[in-house]
Amino acid sequence: MLSAESAAVVRATLPAVAGALDEITTRFYGAMFRDRPELLDGMFNRGNQASGAQRRALAGSIAGFATALLDEPDIRPDALLARIAHRHAAVGVTEDQYTIVHKYLFGAIAEVLGDAVTPEVAAAWDEVYWLMAGALIAQEARLYQDAGVEAGRAWRQWTVVERRPETPDAVSFLLRPADDEPSLPARAGQYVSVRVRMPDGVHQLRQYSLSSAPGDDLRRITVKRVTGEVGAPDGEVSNLLHERVCAGDELTLSAPFGDIALDDPADATAPLVLVSAGIGCTPMAGMLAHLTAIGSTRPVLVLHADRSPAEHALRAETRELVEQLPQARAVFWYQQPGLQEPDAQAGLMDLDGIELPEEATVYLCGPLPFMRNVRGRLLTAGIPARNIRYEVFGPDLWLPGTAA
Ligand SMILES: Cc1cc2nc3c(=O)[nH]c(=O)nc-3n(C[C@H](O)[C@H](O)[C@H](O)COP(=O)(O)OP(=O)(O)OC[C@H]3O[C@@H](n4cnc5c(N)ncnc54)[C@H](O)[C@@H]3O)c2cc1C
Ligand code: HEM
């Protein structure tokens, strides 16, 4: 796929480009948002901009893609891009915007690397960019088509039919299409973007996993209120949803997207292990509800860690769902155990002594350090890496090459 000439140039310049990617992406976003402020209104997440997480995810993905192309020049590493394509579809990226990103990204590369960017170097990296963009555009077109929406226009109004506090910090919103028209079914494990207008007039999007069975017209999301740590501000959208959104209100939601979804034809028999911590329980609750709804007989092991039973969102519901599945069991760990869960383990999740089914498919969701740790333990326990799938509740900073 990558021409031999370009491959040689990319190989020679990859260390310099990779080393400068942080500065390049900082300048890229700075210039792009200065000239195109509308992209920060209703598309990019300004919390991720402020924390630098989005910049690092973009840089990591470009370096990862270029490295994969060099390792196997004849294969376009499309699989690396599925997560990005789903996220792009959920925020409404369109084909024409790739030209805008290209202009500012390559402007920033030229600024940072100066004379080192000869026409040959620029052409070789151009090829990498358009291979990546081409693959993303194609995947995104398919996703929009499958969702039955026009590119970039996956938005629909939903009415909050119920608002239910789950814990002091987590609240669920049960939603129905405001126009009462049917909605396309989602897949268990997928998420939607919620689009809200902030008090300063700027629109912001955030993703929330579907925490109920995704098959019918009612959808549920469960939102944890984010409190700023060490001087950082509180999370803006989660707090707005907590403070302002009540039953009867409308929310703007995207169609459902997300590549980490349960592949579960009704007769699937492979064992499942659902591992989560904190608010990472939401996609697992959606998967469990789906398995129950289809009368699954798969062996399912649910492992969850939290600070305390009182802070464990959807705890009672998870227990009930597990009881309804003939071959499911759950183990919970709490740093501060309480009387509500007499059988729970004390402390952090510890997989020693947990019998993991062979050839299980594992779904993992929680903070990155938790997922790194658990994935390491799963690999040691003999679960093949290909069977471990993870969802990150933020820009993915756990890309190939950086995985622990
Ligand atoms: C696929 C996916 C599924 C998700 N599912 C769920 C779910 O089911 N439930 C759920 O609760 N969440 C979920 N999330 C997370 C959710 O999308 C939001 O990220 C979360 O609600 C926080 O958004 P916020 O607007 O409240 O915080 P933001 O305002 O975006 O802030 C996020 C963090 O950045 C920090 N920050 C903001 N500004 C600055 C600054 N200037 N300097 C330093 N730090 C700063 C904040 O302190 C905070 O820690 C999911 C995310 C993804 C990607
Ligand atoms: C080849 C070009 C591109 C690459 C390599 C790229 C890469 C990425 C990556 C790695 C993420 C984070 C995904 C995740 O981990 O969840 C992301 C998210 C995103 N991208 Fe792109 N992208 C490209 C083009 C574009 C274009 C053209 C736009 C539209 C202007 C765009 C807008 C976004 C937005 C809005 C997000 C979500 C950001 C957030 O919520 O913080 N991207 N992209």
What local confidence, expressed as pLDDT, does residue 260 receive? 92
d(CA 247, CA 249): 6
Q: Which residue has the tokens 């009704």?
A: 266
61 lines ligand 2 (CB under 6 A): yes
Paired tokens of 328? 């499911």
Mutation test of ligand 2: which of 33, 84, 125 has the most ligand atoms closer than 8 Å to its C-beta? Answer: 84
45 lines ligand 2 (CB under 6 A): yes
290-318 mean pLDDT = 96
d(CA 228, CA 359): 40
128 lines ligand 2 (CB under 6 A): no
Q: Of 140, 166, 236, 311, which residue is the catalytic one?
A: 140
Q: Report residue 215's pLDDT band, with 50, 70 and 90 as the boundaries.
A: confident
252-257 mean pLDDT = 97
Mutation test of ligand 1: which of 205, 209, 241 has the most ligand atoms closer than 8 Å to its C-beta? Answer: 209
Q: Which residue has the tokens 């939290």?
A: 306
Nearest to 209 by CA among 82, 393, 396: 393
Q: Where are the alpha helices (DSSP H) in 258-332?
A: 281-293, 315-324
Q: Whose CA is nearest to atom 29 of ligand 1?
A: 235
Q: Of 98, 129, 208, 390, which residue is the catalytic one?
A: 98
Question: pLDDT per residue over 112-147, tens digit each?
Answer: 999 999 999 999 999 999 999 999 999 999 999 999
Question: pLDDT per residue over 293-305, tens digit each?
Answer: 999 999 999 999 9
Question: pLDDT per residue over 15-33, tens digit each?
Answer: 999 899 889 999 999 999 9
Q: Report residue 374's pLDDT band, with 50, 70 and 90 as the boundaries.
A: very high
Lowest mean pLDDT among 40-54, 95-109, 313-327: 40-54
Judge contact between 286 and 209, C-beta under 8 A: yes
For residue 231, pLDDT over 50 is answered with yes
Supply the pTM of this predicted model.
0.96
Question: pLDDT per residue over 72-120, tens digit each?
Answer: 877 878 877 999 999 999 999 999 999 999 999 999 999 999 999 999 9
Q: Which domains does the chain have, with CATH numbers?
A: 4-146 (1.10.490.10), 156-253 (2.40.30.10), 272-391 (3.40.50.80)
For residue 98, indicate whether it is catalytic: yes
